[in-house]
Structures are given as C-alpha cells and as structure tokens.
Amino acid sequence: MIKHVNVKTGARVDLIDITSEIEGLVEESEVGEGVCYLYVPHTTAGITINEGADPSVRRDIIHTLQKIVPRDAGYAHMEGNSDAHIKSSLVGTSTIVLIEQGRLQLGTWQSIFFCEFDGPRDRRVAVKIMGSKEP
C-alpha cells in the first residue's frame, strides 16, 4: 500500500523537513528491515536528503539553486515557472532510505527535505515501505 504525506508549503521556494512524518510511517508499518521509497508526484517540486542540523545549509542550497537557475532567463514555457521545472529535474523527484531495526538509516546529520520550487501550494509525497516485519 502507498501512503501519502501532505505538505503545505509557505513560500515560493522552500525546503521543508519531513523526516519525522516519514519516521512515523515507518513505525506504523512495523517493518523491521527493508526500504522506504519516497516519490514526489509534482513537476515543480522535488525531494532531497541533506543536513538538517544547521538551517543555513538549507538556505545555501536554495540560494545556490536560485543562482544556477534564475527566475527569468528567456524561457519558452508560457506558464512562467520554468525555473521551478528545471530545479525539480536537478534535485530529482524520488529518493530511497534503508530501514534497519525498524528505523530509517539516515546519517547523524541527515534529514529528508521536501523541496518546493513554485509555492506556496498543497503538495504530497508518496511513500512506499517494503520489507520484513519485525519479529
């Protein structure tokens, strides 16, 4: 079964820490050893794993993506949000985290971030948890 995490974004571009929501789903699933697939079904958003401890890392990522992909650069797409589409492709729309002893195997400083590039909007992340149940 696929579960969903709803994410309400509050800015045009934002990285939102969804680690605790995903951990909650892993706990609920009672999977002891397996994998957690995360998929973002949007064309102007993405998902990434990076440092969650220092919020300035998040700001640096946003700032650097803005520099690489400016808001206006003579894009052809009429909707006016080509920068968001390009950022979505750069960051990617899926990731996987391994599960062991019922816990996500993230590194000490790692968090899972939903990446909004054309907000604010109501978004969702599809989550598929697979593996063997805890004994």
Q: How far is the CB of 118 from Zn ion (least distance, A)?
A: 7
What phi and psi, each to the nearest 5 degrees, are found at residue 73? -150, 40
What phi and psi, each to the nearest 5 degrees, are found at residue 68? -70, -40
Q: Which residue is nearest to Zn ion (CB)?
A: 79
- What are residue 98's DSSP bridge partners? 35
Q: How far is the CB of 88 from Zn ion (least distance, A)?
A: 10
Residue 45 or 97 having the CB closest to Zn ion: 45
- Residue that has been written with the tokens 């390009």 in this structure: 86
Residue 89 sits in the site that holds Zn ion (CB under 5 A)? no
Residue 4 or 77 having the CB closest to Zn ion: 77
Member of 30, 60, 79, 100 binding Zn ion (CB under 5 A):
79
Distance CA 71, CA 86 (A): 10
Residue 2 or 78 having the CB closest to Zn ion: 78
Member of 16, 22, 25, 81 binding Zn ion (CB under 5 A):
81
Distance CA 120, CA 9 (A): 5
